[in-house]
């Protein structure tokens, strides 16, 4: 039957940790400790990737790369990546449990999807060690997908590679990529979905792409909210998302719409 069988969710910024703040501050701090002042935008740009790849991506940014060369007299080396990551992981682990609150509406949405017979998978840019902290804390707070896979399960080939999605499909016995919806809050998530050939959806409010805490978002005027939402939506669509949703609460209706498109023979990547 031509219907969606499973949904694969990202974790931080999509299901838990509104605004995806756990890793950002640590990225800023480790570069500051190395004598390089990076901006929040620079720290967020590669979000969703495996964290050591994220550090490589930041070091490859022209401005950051130039600052590094100016300070150290040469381009960054792989040993610099390893040194920064060695500082990053324990710093993140120390604070990670504080960033595991489910985003408003997520628990109810997942329960609704499960009640309709949909399977709920998940992928992440966190390592397996990090996810042990996140998964156990999120479960205690009411959020628990059917399964999760990390880049450790795919030979460190994280996003934008599609392999974590494929592992979810295999485990959950989902029969075809076009019967799967991937939801995430970063460009890396969108590209992961595209590369896997599934329906790729960007969720906006609470996303790393928007980069605001719940308090900061609620403090915006209506016109400021609309502008922030539109900017994130445009980024997702420009990078290949099939759809965007404001919040996870809109996902069940979107899936119904996709089911209608499937019955018409449409597939991911086709403009609706």
* Amino acid 21: pLDDT: 94
Annotation marks residue 179 as catalytic:
no
Annotation marks residue 51 as catalytic:
yes
Q: What is the DSSP letter of 154?
A: G
3-state secondary structure of 21: coil
1 pLDDT tier (thresholds 50, 70, 90): confident
**Could you read off the pLDDT of 15-31 as tens digits, one per residue?**
999 999 999 999 999 99
* Residue 233: closest CA among 193, 201, 257: 201
Say yes or no to pLDDT of 272 above 70: no
3-state secondary structure of 161: coil
Residue 37, number of CB atoms within 10 A of its CB:
10
* Residue 96: closest CA among 65, 66, 128: 128
Section 221-232 average pLDDT = 98
Section 57-69 average pLDDT = 98
Q: How far apart are CA 48 and CA 183, in angstroms?
A: 12
Q: Please state whether 85 falls in left (phi above 0), alpha (psi between -120 and 50) or beta.
A: alpha
**Could you read off the pLDDT of 115-130 as tens digits, one per residue?**
999 999 999 999 999 9
The pLDDT > 90 percentage for the chain reads 98
- Homologous superfamily (CATH) of 6-20+99-263 is HAD superfamily/HAD-like (3.40.50.1000)
Q: How far apart are CA 15 and CA 17, in angstroms?
A: 7
| Residues ≥6 apart with Cβ < 8 Å to 94 | none
271 pLDDT tier (thresholds 50, 70, 90): low
* Amino acid 65: pLDDT: 98
Section 187-193 average pLDDT = 98
Say yes or no to pLDDT of 35 above 90: yes
Axis crossing angle, helix 51-60 with helix 22-33, rounded to the nearest 10: 50
Q: With the CA atoms of 129, 132, 134 and 140 taken in that order, what torsion angle do they form, in degrees rounded to the nearest 10? A: -170
Q: Which member of 17, 32, 51, 179 is catalytic? A: 51
Pick one of 3.40.50.1100, 3.30.365.10, 3.40.220.10, 1.10.150.240 as the CATH number of 22-98.
1.10.150.240
131 pLDDT tier (thresholds 50, 70, 90): very high
**Could you read off the pLDDT of 98-114 as tens digits, one per residue?**
999 999 999 999 999 99
168 pLDDT tier (thresholds 50, 70, 90): very high
Q: Strand pairing of 243-245 and 119-122?
A: unpaired
**Could you read off the pLDDT of 251-262 as tens digits, one per residue?**
999 999 999 999
Q: Which member of 10, 17, 189, 242 is catalytic? A: 10
> Which DSSP string do the residues of 227-266 spell out, in sequence order?
HHHHHHHHHHHHTT-SEEESSGGGHHHHHHHHHHHHHTT-
Sketch the domain layout of the chain as residue ranges: 6-20+99-263, 22-98
Q: What is the mean pLDDT of the chain?
A: 97
Say yes or no to pLDDT of 11 above 70: yes
Burial status of residue 225 (CB atoms within 10 A of its CB: 0-12, 13-18, 19 or more): middle
Strand order in the sheet with 119-122: 119-122, 6-9, 180-184, 199-203, 243-245
* Amino acid 122: pLDDT: 98
Residue 202 · residue 182 · CB < 8 Å: no
Burial status of residue 117 (CB atoms within 10 A of its CB: 0-12, 13-18, 19 or more): exposed
pTM for this entry? 0.95
Section 185-193 average pLDDT = 98
Q: Which segments are annotated as binding site for Mg(2+)?
A: 10, 12, 185
């Amino acid at each position: 039957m031509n219907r969606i069988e499973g949904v694969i969710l990202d974790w931080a910024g999509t299901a838990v940790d509104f605004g995806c703040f756990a890793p950002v501050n640590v990225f800023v701090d480790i570069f500051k400790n190395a004598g390089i002042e990076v901006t929040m935008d620079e720290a967020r740009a590669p979000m969703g990737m495996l964290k050591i790849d994220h550090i490589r991506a930041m070091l490859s940014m022209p401005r950051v790369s130039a600052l590094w060369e100016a300070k150290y007299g040469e381009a960054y080396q792989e040993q610099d990546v390893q040194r920064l990551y060695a500082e990053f992981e324990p710093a993140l682990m120390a604070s990670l449990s504080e960033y595991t609150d489910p985003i408003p509406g997520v628990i109810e949405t997942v329960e609704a999807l499960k009640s309709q017979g949909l399977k709920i998978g998940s992928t992440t840019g966190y390592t397996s060690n990090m996810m042990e902290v996140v998964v156990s804390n999120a479960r205690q707070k009411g959020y628990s997908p059917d399964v999760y896979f990390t880049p450790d399960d795919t030979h460190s080939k994280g996003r934008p590679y599609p392999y974590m999605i494929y592992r979810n499909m295999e485990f959950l016995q989902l029969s075809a990529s076009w019967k799967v919806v991937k939801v995430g809050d970063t460009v890396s998530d969108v590209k992961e979905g595209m590369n896997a050939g599934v329906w790729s959806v960007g969720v906006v409010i609470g996303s790393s792409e928007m980069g605001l805490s719940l308090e900061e978002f609620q403090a915006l005027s209506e016109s400021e909210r609309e502008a922030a939402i539109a900017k994130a939506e445009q980024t997702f669509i420009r990078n290949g998302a099939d759809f965007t949703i404001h919040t996870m609460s809109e996902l069940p209706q979107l899936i119904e719409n996709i089911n209608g498109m499937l019955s018409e023979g449409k597939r991911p990547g086709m403009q609706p």
